[in-house]
Structure 1
Amino acid sequence: MTQPQASETRVAKAQAWESHALVAQARGGLQPKTSAIEEAIVTTSEEKKNMSKEESEVFVPRPLWSSKVKYILALMSYLLMPSYLWSFVLQWLHRGGCSFLIVYTLMLFCIGIPLLFLEMAIGQKVQHGSMDLWKSLSPWFGGVGYSIFMVCFITNTYMNLYNSWILFYMSHIFYFTVPWEHCPLRRNSSGFDPECERATSYTYFWYRQTLKASDRIEDGGPLNFSLCMFLFLAWCLICVFMISGIKSFEKILYILVPLPYFITFCFLFRTLPMEGTEYGLKHLLILKVASIYDPTVWSQAGIQVVFDMGLGFGIIVCLASHMPVSNNCLGDAFLMALIKMLTLLFTTPIILSILGFWATITNHRCCEKNTETLTMLVAQGILPPEVQPPDLLDNPTSTYNSWLNSLLPPLRSAVLSKVPECNLQEQFLKIKEGPRFVFLTFTKVISLFPESGFWTVLFFFLLLSLGLCAAVSFILGIIIPLQDTFSFFRRHPRILIVSASMVMFLCSLFFMQPSGIYYFWLLTQYWVPLPIISIIICENLAVAWAYGAKRFLADMMALLSGPICPVCGWLWCYVSPVVLLGLLMAIFVNLSTRPLTYVAWDSNTSSEVVHRYPMWALMLIVGLYIFILIPIPAYFAYCLILGIPMRPTAFPKLSLGSGQPLTDKEVFKNILQGYKTKSLSP
């Protein structure tokens, strides 16, 4: 053959091979029925082997999960973020106990499961995770994908900070005496100082040794070099886990996901026999009926459900896009909700039992210290002999409180004027929100265990496995859209992984400055819920009203070859938008009526101080929120100016306007038309 003829033959073979691969992908990995058209265009195995390197790179097939089990493990690795597990326990204690669980369950069925199914279905249906995905559902909502990408990018800048802190703490477990076992202000004393126990031993090491935090957010300073090294190590681990995309991520799922459950079982059997655990477990039975009528409880439960289900970050869509289109995503949504609920109900008693042990031991030490102080004051003649405390033997708290309550009111007042009151309930309810309390309280408690070194190692491995899973999932939210948008990254995934990890590491250095922890709290506590709820509302409207809930469910029924409960469409159209708008309004009311505060360490007084964020911090939140959402109204205005309709006439590649899947002829017609358009374009 002449050279032009040979070139035309190679192009025809490449087009045929691409067409065949796309049809196989559209059929969800199922074997297509043999037809005359397919037999005419499918190349033989010998011809495939003879294709040159350039011809084989014309089309890169989308990788799918090796098995359904690995897909479920990937979803679990994303949904089991440690900060949200701790937040659920906090809400349980301060929002009514079992009443909060009832409200949480109702919100889970109203918005959690329906919206999780929505994101899973979109990912499977389109099998694309690019920023242009939402244009196929409705051109008017084409900017949603760009907002999702920016939110995921900003979250990635601080997500791996957890792992750097864990690695820093793990570097100290090999010391003969770990730094958090003793109060740093009493290095030459073996006694117990209640002031030190209450504040300094929990915060001094965190601020002054780990984070080198400044006294205020306005104060600057050099980067924490030691913590930067552990941050770099954390990003190196993420890069290794993701060096080959989801295929390399699959290999570690069998270790990272089951490991936290195994360690949690170990802690369950270890903590149940300890003193004070029954006091913590009593809080499982608390039921405050009045909390059910509290709008704050409903708003907090709704926000908790949104983050527990991992909605709005685009990661569910990315993970589901690597599953065949015929996968039962509705069943997966119910399965993941069930796993999440069982995990919360399993970990909550363990955390409460550990906190009960911590509160009991701390209260015992408070009573012992008060006894020493009162004995000294009586010996000095400052207090009368009638207030001489008894000897504390088996149960210091019970003995001390019984003696204190038996005193006459004047004597009792004189005692409390000299020593603090040791109250077990108040000590237990000192539980605070955020990773600072989780790290410091639990490391302090575990240091009181027999063979504490072994349990400390297990505890940090538990946190590290959960933290790495979450970090890998969030970096997938960056990598997969870039690969689906730019063909260069599909052909060179390792370059993308290394480059993305390096960029994220450089951006994370902003939080390594002395005031970086205050920016971290500003984003996690006040900013993140705003764009996430707004994005979920746009996703809901794009499917339920722009594309049409009935039409979307009809498409999914055609792909799944089975019926889908129409309740999902009713929830998408009426219940979920109303609930989400209510949550968004509650967040705005909370931000506008309450001051934005943060807890800092005052180096002059060696104590914790609550500061208000300056006005520019509030402006920073509002400005960043507007910047993230600008693509949505901008794309909306763009479509209105050009007269682009809100609802597409047909779903690309996978379904017609009536909800029926495209036939082989129609798929080939679209592919060939695409080649013609590509060849005619300049």
Structure 2
Amino acid sequence: MKVAQDMRSTEEGEGSPPPLAKAGSSLRDAPPESPSTKASESLLGKTLSTESRLSKESNFGEWEGGLLMTWSASAWVTRAQVSKTCLARSLAWETHGLEAPKEATSEEVRNMSKNEVFIPRPFWSSKLQYTLALVSYLLMPTHLWSFVSRWLHNGDCSFFIVYIVMLFFIGVPLLFLEMAVGQRAQSGSMDLWKTLSPWFGGVGYSIFMVCFVTNTYINLYNSWILFYMSHVFHVTVPWQHCPFQRNSSGLDPECEQGTSYAYFWYHQTLKASGRIEDGGPPAFNLGMFLLLAWCFVCVFTINGIKSFEKALYVLVPLPYFMISCFLFRILPMAGAEYGLKHLRILKVASIYDLTVWSQAGIQVVLDMGIGFGPIIYFSSHMPDFNNCLGDAFIMGLIKMLTLLFTTPLILSILGLWATITTHRCCKKNTETLIMLVAQGILPPEVQPPDLQRNPTSTYNSWLNSLPPPLRSAVLSKVPECNIQEQFLKVKESPRFVFLTFTEVISMVPASAFWTVLYFLLLLSLGLCTVVACMLGIIIPLRDTFSLFRRHPRTLIVGASMVMFLFGLFFIQPSGIYYFGLLTEYWIALPIISIVICENLAVAWAYGAKRFLTDMTALLSRPICLVCGWLWCYVCPVVLLGLAVAVFIQVITKPLTYVAWDSNTSKDVVRHYPVWLLALVVGLCAFVLMPVPAYFAHCLTLGIPFRPTASSKLSCGMGQPPTEKGASKDTPQGYRAKSLST
């Protein structure tokens, strides 16, 4: 009752902090034999000098929605109330045979007061906002498209069955691992993994470097979206018709044969180079929209999670609403059923194919966003007694339901596009054959029929009815119009899917409205992903270096500017090929390697049983032992298999890219040069270098692989929030829980 009254008084009066005497009495209420109590009393004696010193720092600006970052006695009392479970369960360590925290010596306290500044770590305002933040990060549009691509080329529904198995046996346990680590430590520092094991101290730095590299190009999608939105309000959008051939007044013949108009228009506008070796200045028209995209990111991150959580109520529900609208509009259209039929195809033999399992595993790891950092950093802003295991299962279910929700829409749009382009191809072939017959080049027997009703069905039926010699003569003059080949072009790249969707939506009745709705859908999904990745850079920098904590807004603006400057490299004529190289061939191997290190750090270095014991003491509920078994045996074996599969694919399969030949207006398949592949391997080794460097460091100094019994994740490595910050930032549902346990 006393703790509940103190909490109510904290919420009622922000301007009346309790006196130091009250803080001291709160600490004296703890058991006298507790070492934590002695250390706390010693630290409390240094509070006044620390508070006065912090109040004099003029550069110590505001952060997280205007909270003044000062360390006071009221902050300690609030922290003691919020994390009362840590003090109340101190006997749990002795019960499980772990050494209790040692009493802080006077020298340690003196060094702490001199060198460390306690910064309030704000919590998410509610559990709902935390959930929305995780959902926004998991709704990466490129992964939604790549899922459909793997669905189509790996057994259709068979791939989805394998995906579900991998999701709940690999994805959810690893997601729970990252959530638990971030929430247990309540810190986003790069040194976080040292606490689990000194051998894995470099994992945090590798995570940061991978997130940094990803941020240099991930916002390119949003610049495309803004670039296309600038043309929406034209009377006729440029990608609705076949573009004119360069240096000619005629339409491009290759485009007329049935390829995406938007695909041709995009490459001609940006003047894409014919090979990756060709350079050139960045496209100015796309550079402006790239800058605008980074300005949006700055707006959503300028006050940390406080500014981001305000936008979540719009950015997350909006895509689901828009997808529902598109489903009702697209599904009844002719051609959509061709794509939807792939929802009913089940190839049982694919379930026994190891390639399908490796593709599903890679897709799960990337879909769940593990290894990039935002999951850990988002969870570090939750109370340490939050049920993160339940959150992991909820995220897995949301991801599965989202895929079941979006896949029919993507397949129907691809079916609609394949039908439209095949109709164009048949009509163009008919015009060409009529001209050739009139010129006497082909005999009159190959005169095509009228294609008014169903061009594709009528044309293909007529072509198949011709005798083999005449059919061969026709196909020697015109290409074959195959709807299945058009439909499977989704495998080329997510960029092609984006352009395909753009073209299809422009053909829907009331296209202006639906096109704007479509771009807003993509922009909301894209911004959520980029903002989450940006926080994956800002939070560890802020938590690791005190300089960045004093100038948070300068850090955000400076980091956004650096990302923009790096992004200019990807909007040069050959930049799109480098973009494809990183997204298709580079990202998987470092991410899987990082996840393997995370898994080993928790399951084998710190100890899965020991870690779950820590979480059980915090959550006041038992955790299924299956999680520890999966961490120790299943996840490492599967992840190692995925890493080997990716490595074999890289060294055995020719790495190619689809280049744009501006002279012929055709796609040309080219091989990546050897020097570029060596550069990609070097980049992968560079971002992973901190991991073996820490291994070597520990071996040299003789540091053991397993941490000592006293070296455990401290309860709340993050700094205590102020009285005002705690009353607003602690989720309401958790305050009652913390007082009742």
Alpha-carbon distance in 2 for matches of 1:216, 1:194: 19
Q: Please say if 1:326 is aligned against 2:326.
A: no
Judged with a 3 Å threshold, the aligned counterparts in structure 2 of structure 1 residues 191 and 449 are, in CA distance, closer, same or farther, namely farther
The 5 Å alignment of 1:569-580 reads 569-580=628-639
Q: Please say if 1:511 is aligned against 2:570.
A: yes
The 5 Å alignment of 1:265-664 reads 265-648=324-707, 649-652=709-712, 654=714
**Superimposed CA distance per residue, residues 459-493 of structure 1 (whole angstroms, 9 cap, x where no aligned partner):** 11111111100000000100111111123333432
The offset of 1:414, in angstroms, is: 2.5
Unmatched runs of 5 consecutive residues or more in structure 1: 1-6, 34-53, 657-682
**Superimposed CA distance per residue, residues 359-390 of structure 1 (whole angstroms, 9 cap, x where no aligned partner):** 11222222222222222333333333332222
The offset of 1:129, in angstroms, is: 0.7
Which moved further from structure 2: 647-656 or 458-467?
647-656
**Superimposed CA distance per residue, residues 118-156 of structure 1 (whole angstroms, 9 cap, x where no aligned partner):** 000001100001100001111111111111111111111
* Contact 1:194–1:369 (8 Å) recurs in 2: no
Q: Please say if 1:82 is aligned against 2:145.
A: no
* Contact 1:598–1:611 (8 Å) recurs in 2: yes
* Contact 2:384–2:715 (8 Å) recurs in 1: no
Question: Which one-letter code corresponds to 1:394 in the other structure?
Answer: R
* Contact 2:240–2:262 (8 Å) recurs in 1: no
Q: Which residue of 2 aligns with 1:259?
A: 318
The offset of 1:18, in angstroms, is: 5.6
Q: Please say if 1:201 is aligned against 2:261.
A: yes
Judged with a 3 Å threshold, the aligned counterparts in structure 2 of structure 1 residues 558 and 610 are, in CA distance, closer, same or farther, namely same
Which moved further from structure 2: 354-363 or 125-134?
354-363
The offset of 1:646, in angstroms, is: 2.4
Alpha-carbon distance in 2 for matches of 1:100, 1:426: 20
Which moved further from structure 2: 363-372 or 190-199?
190-199
Alpha-carbon distance in 2 for matches of 1:192, 1:271: 29
* Contact 2:592–2:642 (8 Å) recurs in 1: yes
The offset of 1:202, in angstroms, is: 4.1
Q: Which residue of 2 aligns with 1:121?
A: 180
* Contact 2:362–2:588 (8 Å) recurs in 1: yes
**2:294 counterpart SS class:** helix
CA RMSD of aligned residues (A): 2.5
Alpha-carbon distance in 2 for matches of 1:284, 1:298: 19
Q: Please say if 1:158 is aligned against 2:217.
A: yes
Question: Which one-letter code corresponds to 1:23 in the other structure?
Answer: A
Alpha-carbon distance in 2 for matches of 1:620, 1:9: 52
Alpha-carbon distance in 2 for matches of 1:453, 1:185: 23
Alpha-carbon distance in 1 for matches of 2:640, 2:415: 38
> Percent identity of the aligned residues?
71
Tell me how many residue pairs correspond in the alignment: 628
Alpha-carbon distance in 1 for matches of 2:394, 2:614: 22
Match of 1:249 among 308, 321, 340: 308
Match of 1:11 among 49, 54, 58: 49
The 5 Å alignment of 1:70-109 reads 70-109=129-168
Alpha-carbon distance in 2 for matches of 1:234, 1:264: 23
**2:125 counterpart SS class:** coil
Question: Which one-letter code corresponds to 2:465 in the other structure?
Answer: S
Q: Which residue of 2 aligns with 1:36?
A: none
Q: Please say if 1:66 is aligned against 2:125.
A: yes
Question: Which one-letter code corresponds to 1:157 in the other structure?
Answer: T
* Contact 2:259–2:421 (8 Å) recurs in 1: no
**Superimposed CA distance per residue, residues 246-284 of structure 1 (whole angstroms, 9 cap, x where no aligned partner):** 001011001111111111111101011100111111111
The offset of 1:17, in angstroms, is: 4.8
Alpha-carbon distance in 2 for matches of 1:374, 1:613: 39
Alpha-carbon distance in 1 for matches of 2:221, 2:534: 15
Alpha-carbon distance in 2 for matches of 1:8, 1:131: 28
Q: Please say if 1:20 is aligned against 2:77.
A: yes
* Contact 2:330–2:336 (8 Å) recurs in 1: yes
Which moved further from structure 2: 20-29 or 58-67?
20-29
**1:430 counterpart SS class:** helix
**1:274 counterpart SS class:** coil
Alpha-carbon distance in 2 for matches of 1:640, 1:261: 51
**1:429 counterpart SS class:** helix
Alpha-carbon distance in 2 for matches of 1:157, 1:543: 30
Which moved further from structure 2: 523-532 or 567-576?
523-532
* Contact 2:330–2:413 (8 Å) recurs in 1: yes
Question: Which one-letter code corresponds to 1:474 in the other structure?
Answer: C
The offset of 1:338, in angstroms, is: 0.5
* Contact 1:185–1:196 (8 Å) recurs in 2: no
Question: Which one-letter code corresponds to 2:169 in the other structure?
Answer: C
Which moved further from structure 2: 285-294 or 133-142?
285-294
Alpha-carbon distance in 1 for matches of 2:283, 2:144: 29
* Contact 2:183–2:384 (8 Å) recurs in 1: yes
Q: Which residue of 1 aligns with 2:103?
A: none
Judged with a 3 Å threshold, the aligned counterparts in structure 2 of structure 1 residues 24 and 624 are, in CA distance, closer, same or farther, namely farther
Which moved further from structure 2: 147-156 or 407-416?
407-416
Judged with a 3 Å threshold, the aligned counterparts in structure 2 of structure 1 residues 18 and 178 are, in CA distance, closer, same or farther, namely same
The offset of 1:189, in angstroms, is: 8.5
The offset of 1:585, in angstroms, is: 0.5
The offset of 1:29, in angstroms, is: 11
Unmatched runs of 5 consecutive residues or more in structure 2: 1-44, 52-70, 91-112, 717-741
Alpha-carbon distance in 2 for matches of 1:509, 1:163: 14
Instruction: Provide the TM-score with structure 1 as the length reference.
Output: 0.88
Which moved further from structure 2: 409-418 or 271-280?
409-418
Q: Which residue of 2 aligns with 1:230?
A: 289
Question: Which one-letter code corresponds to 2:80 in the other structure?
Answer: V
Judged with a 3 Å threshold, the aligned counterparts in structure 2 of structure 1 residues 330 and 322 are, in CA distance, closer, same or farther, namely same
**2:370 counterpart SS class:** coil
Alpha-carbon distance in 2 for matches of 1:197, 1:430: 15
Alpha-carbon distance in 2 for matches of 1:407, 1:235: 58
* Contact 1:21–1:61 (8 Å) recurs in 2: no
Question: Which one-letter code corresponds to 2:394 in the other structure?
Answer: L
Alpha-carbon distance in 1 for matches of 2:310, 2:250: 48
* Contact 2:211–2:536 (8 Å) recurs in 1: yes
* Contact 1:363–1:424 (8 Å) recurs in 2: yes
The offset of 1:607, in angstroms, is: 1.3
Alpha-carbon distance in 1 for matches of 2:585, 2:88: 50
